[in-house]
Amino acid sequence: MHIKPQQTVLIIGAGIVGLASARAFALKGYKVTVFERYSQAIGASIRNFGMIWPVGQAAGDPYNTAIQSRDIWKSICEDAGIWYRQSGSLHLAYNATELAVMEEYAAAYAADRPCSVLTAAETLAKSEAVNPDGLIGALWNADELIVDPRLAISRLASYLEEKLQVEFKWNTLVTHIEKTTIYTGDRKKYQADMVVVCSGADFETLYPRIYSEIPITKCKLQMMRLAAQPGDWSIGSSLCGSLSALHYAAFQVAPSLSSLRQLADEYLPEYGKLGIHVMVSQNGNGELTIGDSHEYGLNPDPFDREHINALILNYLKTFARFKDWKLLQSWNGVYAKMTNGDTCFQHSPEEGVLIFNATGGAGMTLSFGLAERMIQQL
């Protein structure tokens, strides 16, 4: 009897897109090997809030993909013992325009999403961390999930290795690809039935011509982490100021969004120029992750700007109250983003090779679902 050999796939990059792809292929019966240039993932996949964020995704495929990803995250976290919390989210309103945006969002999506507009009293009951001064209400959505990306991404790789026999080759730089053969910096080559490039903006080094010809840019963000809150004090839900409504596509259904943008342009012009919208999440250790800014360009400045961090903290204090504001860390991250509105970049430069990249800052939210759809398309 002839037994068909197992199909093989080589995945370049052990960030969230690479790990989600590895899982999807392994579940389809492929023998999967992941190549990562460092001893662990150190890019955008660990430099974020850890937010799985359906509330920000537009209706249809983006939202459905986010929910699919969130459910996969929950299943893996429970199976692998990875900390997570389905915290939900609060977008806070301190004036009539902000509240109108929240009400219009809820009216547009209430039939399909677990969202509602809360009074000030109901909002404060959800989170003791909300600043009550001038609060008039909030948009509540129950979908959102929090993980600690620094721990979750590392543990996810171990889980795939243990549970699905995914092989990892750490500290292994892929230098070039020819058909379905990859060559590494230690002068070895590996051949498979398929190669999937999931190395974020780094795919520029493997396919510079393609990178230069597509509508893509890079986004640099600045973030901070505050001390663990004393006495296991919890902020409850993840919190957002109204500037976040200007950042996420889902809020474009709100007719009052243009008025909110005019207010932001008039009173907070520097925030718009630097792409600052402010959010906070809390990890399992009680630490608070806060941010962030968005500066776009193909050659992002590698240095943090203290002025940007100060703007983030100043705005955060308008809607949040914490027990401890001690700053533990600050950092920046860089991710690839399509400028034509596409959720990601998916392209086959030659038979058997797929570039699967550029999730535009929504990798934690979308990658598992996008990988499932990618497999279906193949």
DSSP labels, 225-262: EEPPPGGG----SEEE-THHHHHSGGGGG-TTHHHHHH
pLDDT band at 4 (very low <50, low <70, confident <90, very high): low
| Residue 248 in this model has a pLDDT that exceeds 50 | yes
- Express as a percent the part of the chain with pLDDT over 90: 94
pTM above threshold 0.75: yes
Nearest Cα residue to 284 out of 73, 50, 79: 50
For the chain, domain boundaries: 8-46+151-214+342-377, 89-142+216-338
As a whole number, the mean pLDDT across the chain is 95
For the chain, the helix, strand and coil percentages under 3-state DSSP, each to the nearest 5: 40, 25, 35
pLDDT value of residue 264: 97
Residue 5: pLDDT over 90? no
Cα–Cα dist 368/346, whole Å: 15
Average pLDDT over residues 351-374: 94
Whether the per-residue pLDDT at 205 is higher than 60: the answer is: yes
Average pLDDT rounded to a whole number, residues 315-323: 98
pLDDT of 1 > 50? The answer is no
Pairing state between β 279-282 and 288-291: antiparallel
Q: pLDDT tens digit string along 269-292?
A: 999 999 999 999 999 999 999 999
What residues pair up with 52 in beta bridges, in sequence order? 145
Encoded tokens for 32:
């999967």
Confidence grade of residue 150 (pLDDT, cut at 50, 70, 90): very high
Rg (CA), the chain: 21
Report whether 41 contacts 47 (CB < 8 A): no
Calpha distance 212→207 (Å, rounded): 9
CATH superfamily of 89-142+216-338: D-Amino Acid Oxidase, subunit A, domain 2 (3.30.9.10)
Show Cβ contacts of residue 269 under 8 Å, excluding neighbours closer than 6 positions: none
Angstrom CA distances, 371 to 105, 190, 306, stand at 28, 23, 37
Contact 329, 288 (CB under 8 A): no
Tell me the C-alpha distance between 317 and 313, whole Å: 6
The CATH class of the 8-46+151-214+342-377 domain is: alpha beta
C-alpha 247 chain-centroid distance? 13
Q: Which of 67, 32, 33, 41 is nearest to 53 (CA)?
A: 67
The whole-angstrom separation of Cα 344 and Cα 322 is: 36
**Element spanning 130, H or E:** none
pLDDT at 283 (0 to 100): 97
Q: How many CB atoms lie within 10 A of CB 220?
A: 22
* Residue 25 exposed, middle or buried by CB count within 10 Å (0-12, 13-18, 19+): buried
Over residues 13-40, the pLDDT tens digits come to 999 999 999 999 999 999 999 999 999 9
In whole angstroms, give the CA distance from residue 123 to residue 144: 16
Query: Which are the contacts of 181, defined by CB distance < 8 A and separation ≥ 6?
Result: 189, 190, 191
